[in-house]
Structure 1
Amino acid sequence: MSFSIAELLAQHSEDKFELHEKHLNNQMVRVLKTIGYDRNYKRAVGQYLYDEQGNEYLDLLSGFGVFAIGRNHPTVISALQETLTLELPNLVQLDVSILSGLLAKEILTTTPENLEKMFFCNSGTEAVEAAIKFARYTTKRAKIVYCEHGYHGLTMGALSLNGEKIFREGFGPLLPDCIAIPFNDLAALEQALSNKDVAAFIVEPIQGKGVNLPDDNYLVEVERLCKKYGTLFVADEIQTGIGRTGKFWAIDHYGAKPDMILMSKALSGGFVPVGAVAMTQHIMDTVFNRMDRAVVHGSTFSKNNMAMAAGLAGLEVIKSENLVEQSATVGNDIIASLNALSTKYEFLKEARGKGSMIAIEFQAPKSLTLKAAWAMLEAANKGLFCQMITIPLFKDHRILTQVAGHGMNVVKLLPPLTLTQKDRDHIVNAFDQTIAATHQVPGTIWDLGKNLASHALKGKAGK
């Protein structure tokens, strides 16, 4: 009897949550069931998910930005199928591969001209780990500066640069000599660099947690200050890169030239994990400076043929379908359309972002009835109001979104770059109706709010 994945899926079609409860993270299953997200998805195409009843869901998370070209893109599937049938030598560790050379060449056509070399790995957090090591070896300094509320991954080195307390709590001691400063604060950065003992400043051009935008001159001044004090400027574009913000790289909005760009997520095409670091010739030549140091940093599965093929095919889709331009056009239209609703609704503070990286922020209202309802939720758990947006969006409009970070009243959208005008209209209308419902106190949506507050208070009591 031949082995069949299709048969396995058919045999266990109803076992997904039970398997996870028994063998994996049962808390994740509890979360999904509590908020009503426990669906059995059977199919995915482009920006859409389909459940066992055939209901269509618009996915505005895209696997936290992984599926920039949409799910199951036929071009990438074809490239991977072809790669499997070619019987190529793969991971011949005492060799170099053609596909990795081609992918490196293709990526470097998109980066600032000062970046001439590539290092491949398996994930975004591995790219961060590599940047820490490369910066320390190149500068012969130990300190790394990062930003409060930043996010760079969850392995121990990357976690040491994580600006969110909830991810760090209980996992210490972390790497020493890692210093947090406020984002978008040039005075704080100069003070941190002024002793000329910092190896690297690692920063997201646009912060993922909250979609916090820098001032127009911030990143160019970051580049200047880093050069002044001999610190390497590392742009973490793991989420913001490869068309997400309506430019190929988010730094392209600001004209900055970092010493390293970190990438992953969209580079995979949504199929085979891949991460990478683009860097200057000087960094590469310093770290790998002798033949006996040719293997001082690497990863067993990096540069594997499937990952490289996925990367090449994904970049071809981005280019041939003009998805960077589409991201800018549709994403900026969504931001403008949502901002136009702020005059109608007290709870809505603003929509912001660039391209298809979008935040919708909510605020305390002025009306007494609304203010009291808001205060009730905030007392139970800061940022809980956003669940009253994301849950109805999912339940009533079949739109998948997320809260932008812990304790934030911000909903975040990271949709595929393939959204259509129809999708745009659906998004704006769904937000309009959902936000309108929050202004009806009492009302059905506030019954949800009371249940959420009750769960939050029980959770606090159980700690």
Structure 2
Amino acid sequence: MSFSIAELFEQHSTDKFDLHEQFLNNQMVRVLKTIGYDRHYRKANGQYLYDEKGAEYLDLLSGFGVFAIGRNHPTVINALKETLTLELPNLVQLDVSVLSGLLAQEILKTTPDNLDKMFFCNSGTESVEAAIKFARFTTKREKIVFCEHAYHGLTMGALSLNGEPIFREGFGPLLPGCYSIPFNDAEALEQALRDKDVAAFIVEPIQGKGVNVPDDNYLPEVERICKKYGTLFVADEVQTGLGRTGKFWAIEHWNVRPDMICMAKALSGGFVPVGAVAMTQKIMDSVYNRMDRAVVHGSTFSKNNMAMAAGLATLHVMQEENLVDNSAKLGTDIIDSLNALSEQYEFLKEARGKGMMIAIEFHSPKSLKLKAAWAMLEAANKGLFCQMITIPLFKEHRILAQVAGHGMNVVKLLPPLNLNPKDRDTIVAAFDKTIADTHQIPGSIWDLGKNLASHALKGKKG
């Protein structure tokens, strides 16, 4: 009897919500149905998703930034097919692989010249776990400092560096010796490091939750202060890396040289998970300092041939298609065009970001009628206004976007880096129309707002 994924998908393509309600996270299904995102997607190509009716959706979420080169890129698919048909030795373990060596070489061509070594793992959170361990062993210190509102992953070590309480609640006790300070505050960092007992300061060059961009002097000061007190400077580029911000690495905007860079997401091409840490020779030699420590930290599947092939093909696509430059140009166009709308709309505070890591923030207006409507939503659930933006964007304009974080009035865009000028114009026009509708009271979009507020209040009572 033959086995066919195509047949299984065809037979069960409309069963996914039932399957997840029965066997997986049914709360996620409830969320999707409540906000009207319960679509049956049948195909994906580049920056677009297609449902069972053939309707096209512009994906500005890109799997939380995974699909930086777009979905189902043929170059990566061909690389994976070729890897499968070659019958290569894979995960021999008492051996080293060609493809992992080649991928390490290619990545290090893109990093600051103080980084000479690579460690591979399976995800962003694993890369953070590795950075914690490597920093502690190298410095012989225990403490790790991170920033408020940071997001570094959800495994126990990475969760201990998570600055959002909703993710931490109920999972303690967490890793000891981890302390948070305000983001974009060099003075607070110096205060935290002055006793020379901190192993590492880990920071997102641009914070993912809220898309918080630091002042121009912040990361250079971070580098200086860390060197002064012997603390390792770890840049978490899991989301900001590989062209997302219009530079290959976000740290390039500030010309800084961290001791480690954590990476993942886009490196996979969206196919086989790949995580990694680039680091100095000193850190690598410290951790792996004897032959009997050659396997002191690792991961069974981390250097598998499929993952390494996906990474190599992804880097090739990014270079061949000039995706970093495209990210910088079209991302700036989108931010500037949305900012130009702020003079027309009281709710719109600003658009910000770098490249195609974009935030659109809303705030309380001055007009009494609009201010009262805003207050009604905020009283029900802080940040609810953004659902009045993202839901119509999806239902009326078939644009998939996300709220930037819990309790924030910020919509976040993480589109594939291969957007074209037509996509840019579609995005700006859709935001223009949706934001304009929020200024019409009464109106259908405020009927949605009342329903959202009602659900939020019921949830609080429940």
* Coarse TM-score class (shorter-chain normalised): over 0.9
2:72 corresponding residue in structure 1: 72
1:214 corresponding residue in structure 2: 214
Q: CA deviation at 1:272?
A: 0.1
Q: CA deviation at 1:167?
A: 0.1
Whole-angstrom CA distance in 2 between matches of 1:148 and 1:123: 22
Cα RMSD, aligned residues only: 0.3
SS in 1 for 2:449: helix
1:181 corresponding residue in structure 2: 181
1:259 corresponding residue in structure 2: 259
1:369 has 2:373 as partner: no
Structure 2 residues without counterparts, runs of 5 or longer: none
SS in 1 for 2:227: helix
Whole-angstrom CA distance in 2 between matches of 1:104 and 1:145: 28
Whole-angstrom CA distance in 2 between matches of 1:264 and 1:14: 31
1:328 corresponding residue in structure 2: 328
Whole-angstrom CA distance in 2 between matches of 1:307 and 1:217: 37
With the length of structure 1 as denominator, give the TM-score of the two structures: 1.00
Q: CA deviation at 1:309?
A: 0.1
Whole-angstrom CA distance in 2 between matches of 1:116 and 1:215: 29
SS in 2 for 1:105: helix
1:398 has 2:398 as partner: yes
With the length of structure 2 as denominator, give the TM-score of the two structures: 1.00
Whole-angstrom CA distance in 2 between matches of 1:176 and 1:182: 19
1:94 corresponding residue in structure 2: 94
Amino acid at match of 2:292: D
How many residue pairs match? The answer is 462
Q: CA deviation at 1:301?
A: 0.2
2:311 corresponding residue in structure 1: 311
Q: CA deviation at 1:14?
A: 1.6
Deviations 1:415-450 (A, max 9, x none): 000000000000000000000000001110000000
2:167 corresponding residue in structure 1: 167
Q: CA deviation at 1:217?
A: 1.1
Deviations 1:212-270 (A, max 9, x none): 00111111110000000000000000000000000000000000100000000000011
Amino acid at match of 2:396: D
Amino acid at match of 2:29: V
Amino acid at match of 1:295: V
Amino acid at match of 1:79: A
Amino acid at match of 2:403: V
2:245 corresponding residue in structure 1: 245
1:7 corresponding residue in structure 2: 7
Deviations 1:159-211 (A, max 9, x none): 00000000000000000110100000001000000000000000000000000
Whole-angstrom CA distance in 2 between matches of 1:14 and 1:364: 41
SS in 2 for 1:412: strand
Q: CA deviation at 1:13?
A: 1.7
Give matches, 1:39-188, under 5 Å: 39-188=39-188
1:432 corresponding residue in structure 2: 432
2:348 corresponding residue in structure 1: 348
Q: CA deviation at 1:11?
A: 1.2
Q: CA deviation at 1:48?
A: 0.1
SS in 2 for 1:331: helix
Amino acid at match of 2:188: A
Whole-angstrom CA distance in 1 between matches of 2:114 and 2:224: 15
Whole-angstrom CA distance in 1 between matches of 2:402 and 2:234: 27
1:443 has 2:448 as partner: no
Amino acid at match of 1:285: D
Amino acid at match of 1:371: K
Whole-angstrom CA distance in 2 between matches of 1:409 and 1:14: 34
Give matches, 1:279-290, under 5 Å: 279-290=279-290
Whole-angstrom CA distance in 2 between matches of 1:360 and 1:313: 32
Amino acid at match of 1:321: E
Q: CA deviation at 1:278?
A: 0.1
Whole-angstrom CA distance in 1 between matches of 2:318 and 2:14: 36
Amino acid at match of 1:98: V
1:271 has 2:290 as partner: no
